[in-house]
């Protein structure tokens, strides 16, 4: 086959003959089709026009002429959750049939991929297809770094639907414009009620459930540092702490022994819930690291932190259920005392997450053993890096898909977090999104190299099949990760007294790895990517710019790491990397490197603003300027 359909249909039978699109070809809807099917036909017509230069008109009723695309909804007595579709392509017509709107939508997405790749002549075939998992979701961080423009979120929904996902969640801590919490969002660029209402309606038109996801227990850093709400923090003086990327993730849990904490949570829920048509609600509840260690210690000593945790989560769950919502929550705390899960309402869904490349099945098995309804939640491995790490993402997602089947999960919720400021371009998460979509639909991923080839063709129009593999290799070219640059900057600006040896020891833990070799590899890869530029489709050309920009940034970061190691500490970078293959880099003049960093960051900011609000760009800027100043002060 000279085409690739993602996710792979259950069965494709190649037949003889070729369907040829003509100037007068039509998309014909049968009489059972309604508004949804018309919208899907419009999507198909737009893709056909873009790919072939011919826009088929859309009609409804009986059509006996050849050369048309026929969409048949056969909905008599059908199960509304049936997502199966069938496609028959021969010399006469293309016929798509399904029993539900969902089946029609997913069949249309398959046809869009075929026309994009085959143009106006599509080989004869028969396709039968349906998903393995009922819920196939994508979770995007809209808090810790980037709040995207509404248009971007719509495009994310488009992409999710294109690869047959049916759930989307945007993670919110402080980035919604709550009516009475202006102190929380006043220096941010938050989502508004109108943003969410419009996105919810847009997602519904694509049969995607936009599920609210709101921090209600832990991860309330910005909230619990305000003058109004600092008193609700488990730890004393949270409002006096300076901001750090690491500290934001590790602390700032509600003091649930204070009745005002519940009043705060209830108020947020009452305002946030009505914006969504979904009857699900992700209350989050993860990483409550400080629970029982501060103001609630007396209660913790009396009943235990697991009891405290379960009782508060149960209270939130019951409130949601009373308001017609099904609660979801992250499972990292409950898995430590799984027997307590049975005390939660039976409607609750546990989000069992794990992001390791070699993720173990233990947590999924544990929650299955106590009868938990669960989604399994892998990750795309974009957070903490300038360029996504696709190899560990593939391994992680592949394992979690297999566990989802083995332990009878309701679905897969693939995550794209924004730790350390969400410096990676969200467009780099597309391959990871497709890995998850493929696994949730098919149950198993093909070999990584093969899947990357198919993504290169289907998503980016690259008939050489090399694009995704090349950008995967770029992700492996970290002489130092963004995460460790941030950690070093935060360590050096903490105000604590440190000796020279302390600073050397800290730097040695920052995983500096062969910066000269990595930069040489980046140069090789970018030459190959540029060679593909004329053959990429519009999606490929758009993302190529970002990859070139971020590649240059990674080279600069690698050089900064080498410069600090050599000039500031008199250390040898060969002590950190692959000694056999590495060389000591030719370190650029400090001021020249600082100037290069600042010029690069100007282009980075311009690129950020194409799809994002200002959000926390200023926090990334603080780190960048710290290194520019450090270089000049050496």
Give 427-462 pLDDT, tens digit per residue. Answer: 999 999 999 999 999 999 999 999 999 999 999 999
Token pair 């070139």 in the structure block, residue? 548
Confidence of residue 255 (pLDDT cuts 50, 70, 90): very high
CA atoms of 358 and 375, how far apart (whole Å)? 19
pLDDT tens per residue, range 460-474: 999 999 999 999 999
Region 526-541: mean pLDDT is 96
Structure tokens at 575: 């002590």
DSSP letter (8 states) at residue 587: P
Domain edges within the chain: 11-129, 140-445, 472-633
Q: How confident is the model at residue 77, as a pLDDT?
A: 58
Of 92, 125, 101, nearest to 41 by C-alpha is: 101
Do 438 and 7 contact (CB within 8 A), yes or no? yes
| Angstrom distances, CA of residue 76 to CA of 52, 130, 207, 502 | 35, 19, 20, 73
- Residue 70, classed as helix, strand or coil, is strand
List pLDDT tens digits, range 452-461: 999 999 999 9
pLDDT, mean over the chain: 95
Alpha-carbon gap, residue 345 to 347, rounded angstroms? 5
Phi first, then psi: give them for residue 475, nearest 5 degrees.
Answer: -65, -20
pLDDT of 89-119, one tens digit each? 999 999 999 999 999 999 999 999 999 999 9
Question: What confidence tier does 577 reach under pLDDT thresholds 50, 70, 90?
Answer: low
Nearest in space to 390 (alpha carbons), one of 293, 456, 461 = 456
Percentage of the chain with pLDDT > 70?
97
Beta strands across the sheet bearing 11-20: 11-20, 121-129, 85-89, 94-98, 69-73, 26-29, 57-60
pLDDT interval class at 78 (50, 70, 90): low
Residue 162's pLDDT band (cuts 50, 70, 90): very high
Which pLDDT does position 586 carry in this prediction?
63
Q: How confident is the model at residue 367 (pLDDT cuts 50, 70, 90)?
A: very high
- The three-point CA angle 103-107-111 to 5° equals 170
DSSP letter assigned to residue 584: -
Alpha carbons 334 and 350: distance in angstroms, whole number: 9
**pLDDT confidence bin for 13, thresholds 50/70/90:** very high
pLDDT confidence of 582, banded at 50, 70, 90? low
pLDDT in tens, 224-254: 999 999 999 999 988 888 999 998 888 899 9
Q: Are 303 and 265 in contact (CB under 8 A)?
A: no
Token pair recorded at residue 279: 């009857």
3-state secondary structure labels for all residues of 154-208? HHHHHHHHHCCCCEEEEEECCCECCCCCHHHHCCCCCECHHHHHHHHHHHHHCCC
Q: How far is CA 81 from CA 7, 296, 533, 549, in A?
A: 19, 45, 42, 44
Q: Identify the band that residue 278 occupies on the pLDDT scale cut at 50, 70 and 90.
A: very high
Question: How many whole angstroms separate alpha carbon 224 and alpha carbon 215?
Answer: 12
- Joined tokens for residue 383: 């957070």
Give residue 516's pLDDT: 87
pLDDT above 90 covers a percentage of the chain that reads 89
Residue 574 pLDDT > 70: no
Architecture of domain 140-445: Alpha-Beta Barrel (3.20)
Confidence of residue 587 (pLDDT cuts 50, 70, 90): low
> For the domain 11-129, what is the CATH code?
3.30.379.10
> If DSSP codes are grouped into helix, strand and coil, which group holds residue 57?
strand
Per residue in 31-41, pLDDT (tens digit) is 999 999 999 99
Cβ atoms 204, 277 nearer than 8 A: yes
Q: Confidence class of residue 499 from pLDDT cuts 50, 70 and 90?
A: very high
């Amino acid at each position: 086959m000279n085409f690739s359909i993602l996710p792979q249909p259950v069965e494709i039978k190649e037949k003889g003959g070729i369907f040829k699109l003509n100037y007068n070809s039509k998309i014909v809807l049968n009489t059972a089709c309604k508004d949804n099917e018309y919208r899907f036909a419009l999507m198909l017509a737009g893709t056909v026009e873009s790919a072939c230069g011919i826009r088929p008109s859309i009609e409804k009723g009986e059509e006996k002429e050849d050369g048309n695309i026929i969409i048949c909804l056969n909905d008599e007595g059908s199960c509304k959750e049936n997502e199966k579709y069938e496609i028959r392509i021969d010399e006469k017509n293309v016929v798509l049939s399904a029993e539900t709107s969902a089946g029609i939508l997913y069949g249309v997405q398959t046809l869009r991929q075929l026309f994009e790749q085959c143009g106006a002549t599509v080989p004869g075939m028969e396709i039968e297809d349906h998903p393995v998992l009922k819920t196939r979701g994508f979770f995007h961080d809209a808090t810790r770094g980037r709040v995207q423009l509404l248009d971007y979120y719509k495009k994310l929904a488009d992409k999710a639907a294109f690869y047959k996902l049916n759930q989307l969640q945007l993670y919110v801590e402080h980035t919604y414009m709550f009516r009475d919490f202006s102190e929380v969002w006043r220096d941010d660029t938050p989502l508004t009620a109108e943003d969410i209402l419009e996105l919810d309606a847009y997602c519904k038109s694509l049969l995607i459930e936009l599920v609210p996801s709101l921090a209600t227990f832990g991860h309330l850093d910005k909230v619990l540092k305000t003058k109004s709400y600092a008193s609700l923090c488990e730890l004393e003086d949270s409002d006096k702490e300076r901001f750090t990327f690491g500290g934001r993730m590790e602390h700032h849990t509600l003091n649930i022994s204070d009745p005002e904490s519940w009043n705060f949570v209830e108020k947020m829920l009452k305002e946030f819930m009505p914006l969504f048509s979904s009857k699900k609600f992700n209350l989050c509840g993860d990483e409550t690291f400080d629970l029982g260690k501060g103001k609630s210690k007396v209660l913790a000593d009396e009943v235990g932190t697991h009891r405290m945790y379960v009782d508060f989560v149960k209270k939130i769950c019951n409130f949601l259920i009373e308001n017609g919502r099904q609660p979801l929550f992250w499972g990292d705390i409950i898995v430590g005392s799984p027997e307590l899960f049975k005390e939660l309402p039976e409607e609750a869904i546990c989000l069992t997450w794990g992001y390791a490349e070699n993720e173990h099945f233990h947590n999924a098995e544990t929650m299955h053993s106590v009868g938990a309804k669960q989604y399994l939640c892998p990750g795309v491995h974009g957070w903490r890096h300038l360029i996504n790490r696709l190899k560990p993402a593939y391994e992680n997602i592949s394992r979690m898909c297999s566990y989802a089947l083995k332990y009878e999960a309701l679905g897969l919720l693939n995550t794209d977090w924004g730790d350390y400021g969400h410096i990676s371009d969200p467009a780099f998460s597309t391959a990871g999104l497709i890995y998850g979509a493929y696994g949730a639909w098919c149950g198993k991923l093909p070999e990584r190299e093969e899947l990357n080839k198919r993504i290169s063709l289907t998503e980016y129009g690259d008939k050489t099949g090399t694009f995704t593999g090349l950008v995967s290799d770029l992700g492996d070219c970290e002489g130092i990760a963004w995460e460790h640059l941030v950690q070093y900057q935060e360590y050096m600006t903490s105000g604590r007294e440190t000796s020279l040896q302390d600073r050397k020891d800290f730097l040695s833990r920052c995983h500096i790895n062969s910066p000269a070799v990595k930069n040489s590899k980046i140069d090789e890869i970018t030459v190959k990517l540029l060679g593909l530029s004329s053959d990429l489709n519009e999606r490929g050309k758009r993302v190529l710019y970002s990859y070139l920009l971020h590649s240059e940034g990674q080279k600069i970061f690698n050089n900064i790491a080498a410069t600090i190691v050599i000039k500031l500490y008199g250390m040898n970078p060969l002590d950190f990397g692959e000694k056999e293959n590495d060389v000591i880099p030719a370190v650029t003049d400090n001021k020249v490197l600082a100037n290069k960093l600042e010029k690069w960051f100007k282009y980075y900011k311009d690129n950020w603003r194409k799809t994002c609000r200002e959000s926390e760009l200023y926090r990334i800027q603080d780190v960048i300027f710290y290194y520019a100043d450090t270089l000049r002060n050496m």
